Amino acid sequence: MIVDLIKKCVFSPKLPREIVLEITSRCNLHCQFCFNKAYIQDRNCVEELSTRQIKTIIDIVSDSEASIIRFTGGEPLLRNDIIELMQYAHDQGLKVWLNTNATLIQRAEARAIAKYVQNVLVPLNAYDRVSELKISHEDVFKRKLKGIKFLQQFEVPHVRCGTVATKENIINLEKIFALVKRLKLSNWEVFREMPLPGKVSDISHQDMAVLVNKLIKINSQERKRYLIVNALPFCVYDPEKVSQVALGAVVDDGHSRFVIDAAGNAKPMYYLNEFIGDIFTSSVDAIWQARFMQDMRNLKFVPVVCRKCFYLKKCKGGSRFAAKTAYGDYVQADPLAQPQRLR
């Protein structure tokens, strides 16, 4: 599903097809690698907008060229008005997507979600109760699986899961995939773990090589194309192999969509805190054409060493956010990049 979306907008997105809306900063889990909790204090924003304010944003998005609105958080189902908001967006003619940890989904919620939502993304970073408890610090593994089953029972068109490639998840990737296969999901996506401020990532080039080879093996055995869907420099390992299982940076850093945070501030990505406009005073088009967004899409921040690379169109130099977090400057190399591999 996400690959089909990107095919339509990867190289020359005149306008974003998808707007991501953080409708709350609250969450019922405490995942150790969660960027939301790490950045909410930096944003200095309220926990969530009112129902009326979010409906105003939905109106603004529905008047734009965007066709998809994605509700995310925090955990969107913590809001008492979430069903009302999904219905409103649906009635405005938008395709509604939802990011949820699924632990709060019972039959009633699943029935309503199936009525208004086309696509649901659930994080899947554990393969049993013990591993889930270690990651989220909550005993919710069975509740999550039950929530996924309810979504499938009421025939939500696309129920997919995403796994963050932590060191432990890379080691246990086969166990996680066995669960993915058992759940009969629409798709499974893998996310490179993004660096958190003030913390040194323990993910090495060797770890990413293991991840790439494991995904290649799974794809070959299953005749699937499961991908690392966020920004990763292809020179982190053998670039030909990485290109087989990495989507590139086409959905990161503002290349094909942008995010509206819980205070109504537009930013290029969930964790990329560059202010690009106030959704209540700026149009979707004006935000999309903000100078930072144009510079990002025009690859102004790509390091010189990357500019003649064969893989640049997809890779885009890896994550500009990771470069800024590691070295304080968007034009530096992604900390996982090894450009010497391409010489």
Q: 129-171: per-residue pLDDT in tens?
A: 999 999 888 899 999 999 999 999 999 999 999 999 999 999 9
- Partners of residue 263 on adjacent β-strands: none
Whether residue 105 is contained in a domain is answered as yes
Domain annotation covers residue 70: yes
Is residue 117 in a domain? yes
Task: Tell me how many domains the chain contains.
Answer: 1
Q: Provide the CATH number for the domain around residue 100.
A: 3.20.20.70
Rounded Cα distance between 113 and 96, Å, is: 9
pLDDT value at 6 more than 60? no
Domain span at residue 32 reads 2-301
Has residue 316 been placed in a domain?
no
pLDDT, mean over the chain: 91
Q: What is the pTM of this model?
A: 0.92
Q: In what order do the strands lie in the sheet with 18-22?
A: 227-228, 187-192, 158-165, 119-123, 95-99, 68-72, 18-22, 257-260, 265-267, 277-278
Q: What is the mean pLDDT of residues 243-266?
A: 94
Pick from 186, 107, 121: nearest CA to 154: 107
Query: What is the per-residue pLDDT for 5?
Result: 43
Q: 172-184, pLDDT tens digit by residue?
A: 999 999 999 999 9
Print burial letters for 144-157: b (CB count within 10 Å at least 16), e (below 16): bbbbbbbbbebebe
In a domain, 282, yes or no: yes
Asked, for residue 315, whether it belongs to a domain, the answer is no
Over residues 37-84, the pLDDT tens digits come to 555 555 445 578 999 999 999 999 999 999 999 999 989 999 999 999
